[in-house]
Amino acid sequence: MTSRLRLYLDLIEDWKRRDIDAVLARLTDDIVWHYAVAGQPPLRSKRAARKFLENFAGILAEVRWRVFDAAEVGDRLFVEGVDEFFTKDGIRVATPYAGVLEFRGDLICGWRDYFDGAVAEAMRGGYAASPQVEELIARPVIA
């Protein structure tokens, strides 16, 4: 396992515990986070990231974020996985994604997540995942 992958997996564990301070400790102060690349403007700073994470954590009951594949090139980590969670209302949302993380030392300074926002919105609206989504997210994790 690469060192940057280990850092990313540790961040995921921090988020599963909803430890926002631990997540933020893994980001540079000038982080540029495209949490929804095509759909929303990026978050620019830890302060903006904190606000986003606090709002998101407020709807979560359980987090099952998983990574299926990863590759590291230079200061970048490329990942494929699923952001799966349950809301406090019991709604399951499972969104396959690909992400690119840029590191400065051991900290993430750039983060881009690519996913189909329509899939996430449909599931938030109570629709079940399609068979192709279920197939994508049923793969073995890497760690």
Q: What pLDDT, in 10s, does the model give residues 112-143?
A: 999 999 999 999 999 999 999 999 999 999 97
Residue 128, CB-side half-sphere exposure with 13 Å CA sphere: 4
Helix, strand, or coil (residue 32): strand
Q: Which amino acid is at 128?
A: A
Q: Which of 29, 53, 31 is nearest to 44 (CA)?
A: 31
Question: Helices (DSSP H) in the chain: which residue ranges?
Answer: 3-16, 20-24, 46-57, 117-124, 131-137
41-77: per-residue pLDDT in tens? Answer: 999 999 999 999 999 999 999 999 999 999 999 999 9
Quick check: 98 pLDDT over 70?
Answer: yes
Helix, strand, or coil (residue 63): strand
Angle at 60 between CA 58 and CA 61, to 5 degrees: 125
Look up the CATH number of domain 3-137: 3.10.450.50
pLDDT-derived band at 30, boundaries 50, 70, 90: very high
Angle at 134 between CA 84 and CA 36, to 5 degrees: 45
Q: Which amino acid is at 72?
A: E
